[in-house]
Amino acid sequence: MSYKFPVRSIRDVLAAFTAKPSSDRVAVHGWVRTVRMQKQVAFVLVADGSCAQGVQAVVTDPSLVKRISTGASVRLEGALVNSIGGNQKTELKVDNVTLLGAADPEQYPLHKAKLPLEHLRENLHLRTRTRTFTAMCKVRNAAFQGFHHFFQNQDFIHVNTPILTSNDCEGAGESFRVLSPESLTSYSTPPKQQPNNNNQQPHEFFGNPSNLTVSSQLHLESLNAALPRVYTLSPTFRAEKSLSTRHLAEFWMLEAEAAFITDLGQLMDLIEASIRGATDFLVKQSAEDLEVLKGFQDMNRKSSVGAGGGERGLPVNEALEMLGSGGKAFHRVSYTDALVILQKSGKSWVHPVDRWGVSLQSEHERFLAEEWFKGPVFVTDYPSEVKPFYMLDSRDSEGDRGVHGGETVACVDLLVPGIGEVVGGSLREHRLDRLEEKIREKGLGLEGLEWYLDLRRFGTVPHGGYGLGLERYLMAVSGLTNVRDVIPMPRWFGHCKY
């Protein structure tokens, strides 16, 4: 393809000069990071997100930089020269300055050099201009592409599962409802006052109530019943009233589903390989941006007294090493064995671990990953009663995974130091009769699930899959400790700006 985008980025301009120094005039476009005025000369640092440093522009006629301040957009023309000293190898000797858009220092919310993250969250629409959030966006892009790269290379098909669903069996009150304006009117108007509403039922745009998806899994299983390797990167929604630093109402999940696997070990291998593949890709593509985030993390760790290693996040370098292909194999332990570790730990737990069958809480997960195994750990074979209906019983799965204890299912959670649970997955119950039993045991109805049961009724196959919280993963590799900072426009309880 001969197409080339017509405006050169600062990175391209600098790279061309580095490859072949030339005194030709060049033009750069970008936003002003800083202006240092001296009597005879002004130094303007301009960035366009294409490289972390931007370009240092030297303006020998300071009158040219009138009204140019942090946040202003400019076009600068001049010649590049090798600079002597300083952080930059190259600087731009400017002979022409065009102010594209001013940014009044009195009003511009990002005028100050060091801004608290809270302040930036109040200015979501502008915060990508900061070095940290430029880097975050680029790391996010590279992570998404990394997962695509891994799965495409393994012949998985990327599919789009629906966002709107009539299915609510997993949501259990945490699903958002979706209504057309007319539906909402019919809900908020007493039926008697509505004309032409003979059956007194509220009008539904789709005929039946519809929700925002809480997981793509069931739909992904439908596609997996035809395409043995599928995955999706998709937005997911929970109407949870959480204000924690780890939960969003709108977040992105990577979900993958693979047919013909019968051993939970095969699923763990896939999970581990996908994370390592994406991380290797990320490290290769976004090294410079990861350095920016690492620097930001170092600065914060020095300046604040965090509430323990977890709250301050894992050092970026450690996370990348752990999750990339150079890291040690992820540990694997059964729930039952993990429970014994927790019981013998001598720790006093807020949530007791005195009984086989208790759910593992964040404090337990962190202890296992951070203090006991000191690395990512797969915890497998949880008690059936704390897991959803669709999981295969451990006894029906293959692979030796140590002690299982009571009634357990062939499932796995991946716990990562500093973050907690990043992945949840399982083999799926693929036999019709047993699946129906499980649905009834959980007290759920079969209505609305007939389509899902059909997948077992006609040509069912053993299969399994997992979901990875992309924002959780991004917290691990970016060192950013608040989930609201790893997505451009976070939405959480009470907050949906713009």
Q: Which of residues 39-98 bind its own copies (CB under 8 A)?
A: 48-50, 71-73, 75
Cα–Cα dist 348/236, whole Å:
35
Q: How far is the CB of 406 from its own copies (least distance, A)?
A: 29
- Using DSSP, state whether 475 is helix, strand or coil: helix
Of the listed pieces 303-311, 350-358, 379-387, 481-489, which binds its own copies according to CB under 8 A?
Answer: 481-489
Cα–Cα dist 339/319, whole Å:
26
Phi first, then psi, for residue 129 (nearest 5°) are -70, -20
- Using DSSP, state whether 315 is helix, strand or coil: coil
Q: How far is the CB of 188 from its own copies (least distance, A)?
A: 4
Residue in this structure with the two tokens 């997100």, named with its chain if needed: 49
Tell me which DSSP letter residue 408 carries.
B
Between the two ends of the chain, the Cα-to-Cα distance in Å is 38
Q: Which of residues 111-150 bind its own copies (CB under 8 A)?
A: 124-126, 128-129, 133-134, 137-138, 140-141, 144-145, 148, 150
Residue in this structure with the two tokens 């000369």, named with its chain if needed: 41
Please report whether residue 284 would count as binding its own copies according to CB under 8 A. no
Please list, residue by residue across 247-286, b when 16 or more beta carbons sit within 10 angstroms of its beta carbon and e when fewer do.
Answer: bbbbbbbbbbbbbebbbbbbbbebbbebbbbbbbbbbebb
* From 60, 96, 287, 451, residue interacting with its own copies (rule: CB under 8 A): 451
The size of the interface with its own copies (CB under 8 A), counted in residues, is 129
Maximal CA-CA distance, the chain:
84
Q: Are 325 and 347 a contacting pair, CB within 8 Å?
A: no
Mask for 7-46, x = binds its own copies (CB under 8 A): x-x-xx----------------xxxx--------------
Which amino acid type is present at position 12? Answer: D
Mask for 408-437, x = binds its own copies (CB under 8 A): ----------------------x-------
Q: Which of residues 166-225 bind its own copies (CB under 8 A)?
A: 166-167, 173, 175-182, 184, 187-188, 190, 202, 205-208, 210, 212, 218-219, 222-223, 225
Please report whether residue 245 would count as binding its own copies according to CB under 8 A. no
Of the listed pieces 347-355, 386-394, 419-427, 448-456, which binds its own copies according to CB under 8 A?
Answer: 448-456
* From 260, 287, 374, 441, residue interacting with its own copies (rule: CB under 8 A): 260
* Pairing verdict, β 25-37 and 55-59: unpaired
Nearer to its own copies, 354 or 450 (CB): 450
Name the strand (E) or helix (H) holding 206: none
Nearer to its own copies, 158 or 301 (CB): 158
Please report whether residue 266 would count as binding its own copies according to CB under 8 A. yes
Please report whether residue 229 would count as binding its own copies according to CB under 8 A. yes
Q: How far is the CB of 379 from its own copies (least distance, A)?
A: 22
Within 8 A by CB and 6+ apart from 176, the residues are 211, 212, 237, 239, 249
Please report whether residue 334 would count as binding its own copies according to CB under 8 A. no
Q: Are 108 and 72 a contacting pair, CB within 8 Å?
A: no
* From 53, 426, 460, 481, residue interacting with its own copies (rule: CB under 8 A): 460
Nearer to its own copies, 128 or 317 (CB): 128
Q: Are 353 and 345 a contacting pair, CB within 8 Å?
A: no
* From 93, 158, 247, 331, residue interacting with its own copies (rule: CB under 8 A): 158
Q: Which two tokens stand for residue 179?
A: 């209504």
Please report whether residue 160 would count as binding its own copies according to CB under 8 A. yes
Nearer to its own copies, 41 or 496 (CB): 496
Q: Are 78 and 94 a contacting pair, CB within 8 Å?
A: yes
Please report whether residue 362 would count as binding its own copies according to CB under 8 A. no
Nearer to its own copies, 304 or 325 (CB): 325
* Pairing verdict, β 25-37 and 73-82: antiparallel
Q: Which of residues 291-310 bind its own copies (CB under 8 A)?
A: none
Nearer to its own copies, 204 or 370 (CB): 204
Please report whether residue 286 would count as binding its own copies according to CB under 8 A. no
Nearer to its own copies, 9 or 361 (CB): 9
* From 228, 295, 309, 357, residue interacting with its own copies (rule: CB under 8 A): 228
Please report whether residue 404 would count as binding its own copies according to CB under 8 A. no
Within 8 A by CB and 6+ apart from 44, the residues are 32, 34, 35, 36, 56, 57, 59, 65, 68, 74, 76, 94
Nearer to its own copies, 182 or 371 (CB): 182
Q: How far is the CB of 261 from its own copies (least distance, A)?
A: 6
Name the strand (E) or helix (H) holding 21: none
Give the angle subtended at the CA of 174 by the CAs of 170 and 175, to the nearest 5°. 80
Which of 209, 213, 206 shows the shortest CA–CA distance to 163?
Answer: 213
Which of 108, 106, 102, 82 shows the shortest CA–CA distance to 93?
Answer: 82
Q: How far is the CB of 149 from its own copies (least distance, A)?
A: 10
Nearer to its own copies, 133 or 373 (CB): 133
Q: How far is the CB of 70 from its own copies (least distance, A)?
A: 9
Q: Is 74 exposed, middle or buried (0-12, 13-18, 19+ CB in 10 A)?
A: buried
* From 261, 391, 392, 427, residue interacting with its own copies (rule: CB under 8 A): 261
Nearer to its own copies, 249 or 314 (CB): 249
